[in-house]
Amino acid sequence: MGLLVNIDVDDLEKAIDFYRSAFELHVGRRFGVFGVEMLGSSSPIYLLMKLPDSIAAPDTRLQRCYERHWTPVHLDFVVDDIETAVQRAVSAGAKIEKPVTTQEWGKLALMADPFGHGFCFVQFLGDGYDALVEKV
């Protein structure tokens, strides 16, 4: 099974610039003025132009909002050098929501893109998530 990631944005060119600069992704295919495929991650990321305040889900009144918002799904970008990744993302327009913290399994930084979507940088240390596995 494959995985495709879709991210709604209100300014496609600004989003391309951000995702190119922050995550070192590159443009794959373009789908007119309403979408672009960004490559360079383990899964393609599709940036989809959607107007602010447009209906976000059928049969609801939920509208798209590009201010910081919460969703139970977010992206984690696994990196080798979290400090460099955070600086690159901030330079591209990301916001730091919680600076880098270190846990037994690795380092974590909570971030937000310029379109209100939360994401994290993860740098695994030692055994990574295996350090959290309970031994039976």
Q: What is the pLDDT of residue 81?
A: 98
- Domain enclosing residue 33, as ranges: 5-132
- Whether the pLDDT of residue 37 is over 70: the answer is yes
Question: Which of the four pLDDT bands, split at 50, 70 and 90, describes residue 102?
Answer: very high
Q: How confident is the model at residue 134 (pLDDT cuts 50, 70, 90)?
A: confident
Residue 135 has pLDDT above 70, yes or no: no
The model's confidence at residue 136, banded by pLDDT at 50, 70 and 90, is low
Burial of 53 (0-12, 13-18, 19+ CB in 10 A): exposed
Quick one: tokens of 81? 């050098």
Position 59 scores a pLDDT of 85
Domain count of the chain? 1
Tokens 């846990």: give the residue. 103
Q: What's the rounded mean pLDDT across residues 94-100?
A: 98
Pair type for strands 75-78 and 45-49: unpaired
pLDDT above 70 coverage of the chain, percent = 99
Q: Rounded mean pLDDT of the chain?
A: 95
- What average pLDDT does the segment 42-67 reach? 92
The pLDDT score that the predictor gives to residue 106 is 97
pLDDT of 56 reads 86
CATH number of the CATH domain containing 106: 3.10.180.10
What is the DSSP secondary-structure string of 16-68?
HHHHHHHH--EEEEE-TTSEEEEESSSS-EEEEE--TTSB-STTS--B---SS
Does residue 43 register a pLDDT over 90?
yes
pTM of the model: 0.90
